[in-house]
Amino acid sequence: MAEAAKVVKKQFNGVVYSKFSDVPSELIVSTFVGDKVIEGIVSKCQWYTERLTQEEVTAKMTLLINLLSRRERLDVLDFGGGIGQFLFSVEKYLMSANAVTWNVFDTEEMIAVAGKKAKTKDNLFFYSRLDAIQKADLVFLRQSLQVLEDPRKTLKEIVERFHPKAIFLCGVPAGLNEDYLSLVLAYGEEHKGCPCWIFNEKKLVHFVTGLGYVLADQFMENITVDLSDFPARYHLDREGKNHVKGYVFLREGMTIRI
Ligand SMILES: C[S@@+](CC[C@H](N)C(=O)[O-])C[C@H]1O[C@@H](n2cnc3c(N)ncnc32)[C@H](O)[C@@H]1O
């Protein structure tokens, strides 16, 4: 009997761009608010609520939030946080969940979806304008830095506006390669998707430390990106394993009082 051919779905379109405006506009689609994607996020919120094990990012965020919220209320800015899904992953491990306010910032489109789909919580708020957010002590970006048009400009704006105690970046495709941009293919699409940066790790870390932060933790996640369509120099590491990375930065001179 003939073996059924396995359809391998590519993650990227394999094209390298140097800036957002180079990506043909007809190839860009609203990847994050499609019905199937939102359905997946909503069911993940439920799964996060029920499961007992922690993934590495949740464990690290738990520790950081618990340390920072021991003596005073903590405002988290979950930048590109969708419908607030990460809060569901972390909240049950917090020593004082009531001491934490979770502010999600995302696109107008996503915030409108969150208004309909997110579970209501007393400490969960949604914003599509940064200037509407009062305070951010801990800034968290999971898999969202890379989809911003100008990630460095945004990080600088966040730091100047909020002067956060800590910045937690994770799910970041960063490595030995030079910075480049490509297109992550959207669910069910063969050519269309969303622009995504693949960073040079050294330059990214150097940029954030240059904003007045110290790199306190750096880790490799158990998630990989499929860069198999790109020549070796575009891969994150020499072996082409391409694990995404996480970084925790603390504001220079900041002490955590326990
Ligand atoms: C890959 S998803 C990650 C969602 C969430 N952080 C998580 O880890 O589950 C990227 C998120 O970034 C948001 N996003 C895209 N462009 C953005 C922008 N310019 N400003 C804020 N958020 C943006 C998307 O709407 C989406 O929620």
Residues ≥6 apart with Cβ < 8 Å to 244: 143, 170, 171, 172, 173, 174, 220, 221, 223, 224, 225
Nearest CA to ligand 1 atom 21: 106
The alpha carbon dihedral of 245, 249, 255, 256 has a sign of negative
Distance CA 45, CA 174 (A): 27
Distance CA 152, CA 168 (A): 15
DSSP per residue over 49-83, as a string?
A: HH-----HHHHHHHHHHHHHTSSS-EEEEEET-TT
Comparing 110-119, 128-137, 244-253, the range with the smallest average pLDDT is 110-119
Contact 243, 222 (CB under 8 A): yes
Mean pLDDT of the region 125-150 = 98
Mean pLDDT of the region 229-252 = 97
Nearest CA to ligand 1 atom 19: 148
Contact 115, 126 (CB under 8 A): yes
Residue 257: predicted pLDDT: 77
Nearest CA to ligand 1 atom 13: 80
Distance CA 132, CA 250 (A): 24
Q: Which residue has the tokens 């506006």?
A: 161
Q: Is the CB of 144 under 6 A from ligand 1?
A: yes
Tokens of 245: 């990375």
Nearest CA to ligand 1 atom 24: 80
Comparing 25-29, 31-35, 63-67, 111-115, the range with the smallest average pLDDT is 31-35
pLDDT in tens, 82-99: 999 999 999 999 998 889
Domains in the chain: ranges and CATH: 20-251 (3.40.50.150)
Most informative mutation of 43, 106, 153, 169 for ligand 1 (most atoms within 8 A of CB): 106
Q: Is the CB of 88 under 6 A from ligand 1?
A: no
- Residue 5 above 70 pLDDT? no
Q: Is the CB of 112 under 6 A from ligand 1?
A: no
3-state SS class at 210: coil
Gap from CA of 82 to ligand 1 centroid (Å)? 6
